[in-house]
Every structure is written in structure tokens, then in C-alpha cells.
Structure 1
Amino acid sequence: MHVLSRTLIDLYDAAEDVAPNEYPAVVMAVMHRLISFDGALLGCGLDAMEHARIFHRSPLLPSDYAKVYRSDPLACRLRLGLRVPVTCECRRFYVARECAEVKRFYQRHRIARVLLFGDPPAGRLPRRWVALYRGVDAGFTRNERARMEEVWPHVSRGLTANRRRHLERHVARRAGAASALMNRSGMLEAQDTDFRALLAADRLDVADGVMPERVRQCWRAGSTYVGEHLQISLQECGEFIVCTAVPLGCAVKLTPAERIVANLFASGLNHRQISERLGVSQNTARSHIAHAYAKLDVHDKAALANTLALDPSRVKTGRTE
């Protein structure tokens, strides 16, 4: 069997069975069969270099590069999008440019040659990329660049399939819910088809493949995000965070008192009758009803009754003790 064909079979087979934190090592082993290199950096997203995976080099390399990559012309080219793999002879390339800090980075980590490629800007999210390193002056050949161009789309698809498989295994499916797998830099590496639309209902934009900051703040605080129309639970799962978005029912949006008053009002009672039944003032009853209207985005009693009737979390009302 052709080497490339056998390599791709192994890549996709491993995507089904290997844990997500171990799969990048499989990817690098597969690529090493086709291209010779002595170090690599595999990333997801362009603004979280410190979270990129390093292979066969100092573990300090990602954090060191995070300090200088915005000044690196290679990173700028990656951000704009690469149609073909790019190679670089570091010594000659950076001498001709005002990039002293970047030059020192490559010297400190003994990187003489780089082969860089990644997902196109218009491609599926998230954007993944890889930098292969050589510590010797022997350059990457035209054939090796061609192999990179041929194998990379399969690598990216394999990573996505691996993350989706992990998501399927670790999420208990619920009607109306949608889930995503977020890495520790906030990139969404896999998501259900409805996840983006569900978050849009709460004006949370994930079009760039990054979880909004207010949701990430909840994750860092160890809490659940609760918005106007949905809540997102954030559960640690190895190197990733499983994000499960669930639409809020009326019972969650309203306080217990608001829920009881709203149900009584929708059933036909007026302010005075609610006041007498619950032992509260009419002004309190009016206030609870006004809050229920605002929280449920309704404007009359008929709409309120319809919204409450359709809510699966609806509870029966009765006289308070």
C-alpha cells in the first residue's frame, strides 16, 4: 500500500479511538513519516500561542513565542492565510528585517529552518496550524512542501473528528440542548450544529470560533453562565471543557414568587384576587407581573398564558403557606 494512503488510514483510525490530549502526538508521528523534522508546534487559533502543543523541543517554547509572535512576519503571513506551505531559513530571513526579538527567539531555541502551514481563513473553524522545525541548515525540499500541502487537510479533519468523537462520548444528550468542546484558550474545537444558533439567541457571537469572554469568565470562576435565554454549564474534561447550552424555561427565568403570581394572573385572577389569595399587596402583585412580562418578553395576558403553557418546566400553583 502507498505510504500516504497507509498514513491517512492510521490518522483517521486513531481519531476514533485515541483520547484528545494524546491525538496530537499521533498527528506528529504520522507527519514525521512523510516529512523529516526535529521539533514542531501545533496550534489552534492565532492568539493563544502559549496553549500550542510542542513536540521534541523545550516546553518553554510556546510561552516564549507568545511574547514575540506578533512581531514575527511568518505569523503575520499565517494570519492572512497561506495558500501553500511556507519555508523559512531563519538566519537569513530575520537578518534582513527589524525583528531582533524574534531572531533571538529562533537562536535561543536553535531553530534554523521552519515549514509553516494551516487552515485557510475562509475554512472551517477553528483555524489550526503547524510549524515544523529543523535545527540544521538542510532546508525543507519541494517534495516535502508538497507532502505538507497534501496531508494537512486530512490532519485538520482528523483533529476535528477526534474532538467531535470525544464530545459525543462525554455529553448526555438532552432535548433542546447543544454542546461544544472548548480548549483552555477559549477556542471551540468541536460543536453541535445548533450550538452557534442557540448562543445567538442570547447575543453571544461565536462566529470567530472563540467562546465569548463573559462565558469564559464563568468557567474560570467555576460557575454556570446564566443569560436571558439560556444557561451554559462548563465541565472540565481532561484538557478540554465541555460546554452544554440549554434554553431557559420560564421556571428558571422567574423567581418563585414571580412564577406563582404570573400563573395565577394568566389563569384569570386579577390583582385584587391574587393579593387576597397570597396575602400580599396589590402593588406587589403588579410588580411581580411586570417583572414576568419583561423577563419573558411578553406584552399582554394572552401571550403570558401561552408562554407559560408551553413551558416544560411549568409547575402547578396554589395557595402559599
Structure 2
Amino acid sequence: MVTIYSAWTRKEAETDPNESQGADRIQGVAMKAFASTLADLHYASQHASPHEFSAEAVRLLRKWIEFDGGVLGTGYAEGKMEDALGIADAHIYNRSPDILTDYPDVSASDPLTQSFMSGLCEPLLCSCPSYYAARNLAALEKYARRHDINELMLFGAPPQERLGARWFVAYRGDNRPFSGQDANYLHAFWLNLSIAMDANRSRLLEEIFPEQGDRAVALINWRGILIAADPLFQRLLQLEWPGHRQPRLPAPLWECAVTNAGYQGKRIEVRFSRQRGQLMCHAREALILPKLTPSESRVAALFSAGMSHKEVAQHLGVSQFTVRNHLKSSYSKLGLHDKAELARYMVAQAPAGLQAPYRETERAGG
């Protein structure tokens, strides 16, 4: 059966108010030791590579929970109903890599996966073969037996908008079920592990790109999944693909990454490089002025600098109708919607001082 325990309960034998003060002291020592483990976890997040950090996190958790196998993973929703869990990256402890290779065949039909995708408030515990057998889920029962998964404990965060899933699942090959105390430790450990995972990935970006300012870089794994990304990188993706919500790169961008070709889009430019064995994306807003004709560029520069349609027409010696047509064409080419957006792009991408002389000339000629 599947059992969900409260994260903050303790076994009655450990919390009986009539127990001796000696038991209280033992519990206090255990709490201090657990706090020390969490401190070691956060230290590792600042000093280990992502792979080393995952291994260290599992090692630290094994001090408090006995298990003979496990997976610390990240992933994403996939399938027509987005009810299956795709695995982006994972650290496997004491199990064959086939445990991940075989998983896509059973993911969509797994009630445990569906519970995880809906969101878990507490760790989920399960005696897998009997649970699957009772529900006539033969493929899942076979999967559990093949990979020596008799008892399972799962906790983590499901996929969210623009954020991938992350989880830890512990296995036991024998018949000893995980306990409520095991669930307590996993819940408390996970709250810190999730934060430490973010810190570990962010530190890697900081080490590779220590420069300050408007940095827009991202760390990508071999499946095109964002492992870590600057906020500006995320915003630039939304400029190019407003409806994109997945933690993986949009398909056109990933195709360029695979071939190591730069991406030149309508709104952004992206180049790729390898740093310390990691695939890095460097994004910036696309240079927009070359996309306009010389006449459109002149009209856009004057209009964004503050001139009215009439003033631009007088300055260039054309009709207001021509000015409006050029602006309409510019908005369409650049994917902009109003004068304020046009002004921001022109100021950001034109050489310093380009627009002021237009205005000064207009005043001088006026």
C-alpha cells in the first residue's frame, strides 16, 4: 500500500512525554547531528561540481536513512497529457543505469508517478511489487522486480511553469518498509537539498562567468534541459517564444546547440560554448536596426527620439502617409507594438548619441 506520513511526527517511543530526561538529551544530540549534516550539504553546494554534489548529497542522506539504492533526479512533464515524467539528469546510487533506460516505458501508467506529478505534501512510501500486483500493473511489477525495488520512498517537487521536476527516490531490495521516521528525515533533508541544488548550479555559472551586469547565460545538459539559467536568459527566451513554458530549450534553439551553430532569431541571438565540460548558452537581444531599410531606420530613429508623425515627415521631406507606412512596417518586422517599445529598442541598440543629433538638427532647422 501507499502511505503518506506527517513530516513532523515522531515515533511514540521517541516522543512519549513520560520518558526520561536521558532520552531528551539523546534526541537533542540527534538534532544537532542532523543540523551538522545539513551544514555539510550546504558546504558541498559551494565547493563541489554538480556531479560531485549529487553523490555527496546521497552519501549524507544515507547517514540518516538506510537504503540500498536510489535516484536523485531532475526532469520534465512529457506526453500528450503531460502526465509522464521525462528524466533530464540523474545520479543513480547502487542500481543499474537501465533503471532509467526502462523507466519511459512505464512512466505514464505508474500511479506513483502520477501522484508525484500532482504534487506531494509528504514523502510517499510504497511496497512496490504487491502494490502493482494488486492493481494488475504487470509491466510495473516486472520493472520493480527487475531493478530490485521492493520498498520505495519518494519525495520532491513536480514540474512547474518554466521549472523542471526534481526528486529523490530511495529503494530497498528487502522486505523492510520505510518508516515514518525515515519520512521525517527525508522531508527535512529535502527542504535543504532543493535549495542547495539551486545554489550549486548558480555557483557554477558565477565561476564560469563572474562578470556583473546584465548577464544572460544558461547551463544546459545533454538533453537540452536548463540546469541553471540567469533570470535575463529566461526573459529573453520569452521574447522569442512567448508561449514557451518548458524547462527545456525550444526545438529551434536546441537544434543549433547540437550542431554548435549560433542562433539568429527575430528577437534574440544565442551562441554556444563548452566550459569545464558543460554546454553553455549565451543570449542577447538581437540587433534590430539592420533588419530595417535605410528609410525605415531613419523614420524609426526620429520617431522614437520624440518627433511626431508630422515632424518626421517635414524633416525628411516625405508625406505623413509614408511615415506611418514605414512605422507600421518597422513594428511588424521587429515584433513591437507601440512607440515606447520602439524607443527602448532604438536607445538600447543604436550607438550612443545617434538620436540626439536628429532632434537637434530638427530644432536648428525649425
Cα shift readout 1:244-288 (whole Å, capped 9, x = no counterpart): 22012235x538xx56994699697779xxxxxxxxxxxxxxxx9
Q: Residues 219 and 281 of structure 2 are in contact (CA less than 8 Å); yes or no, is this contact kept in structure 1? A: yes
Output the CA distance in 2 between the equivalents of 1:124 and 1:177. Answer: 19
- Note the 1:197-216 alignment, pairs <5 A: 197-216=235-254
- Residue 322 of structure 2 corresponds to which residue in structure 1? none
Distance 1:147 1:72, change over 3 A: same
- Residue 41 of structure 1 corresponds to which residue in structure 2? 71
Displacement of 1:190: 2.3
Distance 1:19 1:121, change over 3 A: closer
Which of 288, 291, 301 is the aligned partner of 1:254? 291
Output the CA distance in 1 between the equivalents of 2:337 and 2:236. Answer: 24
Displacement of 1:180: 2.3
- Residue 135 of structure 2 corresponds to which residue in structure 1? 97
- Residue 274 of structure 2 corresponds to which residue in structure 1? 236
Displacement of 1:161: 0.5
- Note the 1:126-275 alignment, pairs <5 A: 126-171=164-209, 173=211, 176-237=214-275, 240-250=278-288, 253-254=290-291, 258=293, 262=297
Output the CA distance in 2 between the equivalents of 1:81 and 1:14. Answer: 28
Displacement of 1:59: 1.9
Q: Residues 217 and 280 of structure 2 are in contact (CA less than 8 Å); yes or no, is this contact kept in structure 1? A: yes
TM-score, length basis structure 1: 0.78
Output the CA distance in 2 between the equivalents of 1:309 and 1:146. Answer: 55
Unaligned runs of 5+ in 1: 272-287, 317-321
User: After alignment, is 217-226 or 235-244 more displaced?
Assistant: 235-244
Letter in 2 for 1:196: Q
Aligned residues between the structures: 297
- Residue 8 of structure 1 corresponds to which residue in structure 2? 38
SS at match of 2:231: coil
Distance 1:42 1:206, change over 3 A: farther
Output the CA distance in 2 between the equivalents of 1:306 and 1:22. Answer: 44
Q: Residues 37 and 60 of structure 2 are in contact (CA less than 8 Å); yes or no, is this contact kept in structure 1? A: yes
What RMSD over aligned residues (CA atoms) do the two structures have, in Å? Answer: 3.5
User: After alignment, is 304-313 or 212-221 more displaced?
Assistant: 304-313
Q: Residues 88 and 225 of structure 2 are in contact (CA less than 8 Å); yes or no, is this contact kept in structure 1? A: no
SS at match of 2:266: coil
Letter in 2 for 1:18: A
Output the CA distance in 2 between the equivalents of 1:18 and 1:185. Answer: 22
- Residue 152 of structure 2 corresponds to which residue in structure 1? 114
Which of 82, 90, 97 is the aligned partner of 1:59? 97
Cα shift readout 1:186-237 (whole Å, capped 9, x = no counterpart): 3323222333222222234454433222222221222222211111223334
- Residue 274 of structure 1 corresponds to which residue in structure 2? none
Q: Residues 75 and 159 of structure 2 are in contact (CA less than 8 Å); yes or no, is this contact kept in structure 1? A: no
SS at match of 1:52: strand
Output the CA distance in 2 between the equivalents of 1:290 and 1:206. Answer: 27
Q: Residues 225 and 247 of structure 2 are in contact (CA less than 8 Å); yes or no, is this contact kept in structure 1? A: yes
Output the CA distance in 2 between the equivalents of 1:181 and 1:304. Answer: 31
Q: Residues 253 and 263 of structure 2 are in contact (CA less than 8 Å); yes or no, is this contact kept in structure 1? A: yes
Distance 1:240 1:67, change over 3 A: farther
Identity of paired residues, percent? Answer: 29
Cα shift readout 1:34-63 (whole Å, capped 9, x = no counterpart): 111111111112433374321111122211
Displacement of 1:297: 5.5
Say yes or no: does 1:26 pair with 2:56.
yes
Output the CA distance in 2 between the equivalents of 1:298 and 1:106. Answer: 54
Output the CA distance in 1 between the equivalents of 2:106 and 2:280. Answer: 31
Letter in 1 for 2:95: R
Q: Residues 250 and 314 of structure 1 are in contact (CA less than 8 Å); yes or no, is this contact kept in structure 2? A: no
Output the CA distance in 2 between the equivalents of 1:230 and 1:132. Answer: 42
Q: Residues 225 and 233 of structure 1 are in contact (CA less than 8 Å); yes or no, is this contact kept in structure 2? A: yes
Distance 1:6 1:219, change over 3 A: same
SS at match of 1:48: strand
Distance 1:309 1:204, change over 3 A: closer
Distance 1:72 1:293, change over 3 A: closer
Mark the structure with the bigger radius of gyration: 2
Q: Residues 69 and 172 of structure 2 are in contact (CA less than 8 Å); yes or no, is this contact kept in structure 1? A: yes
Letter in 2 for 1:77: S
SS at match of 1:210: coil
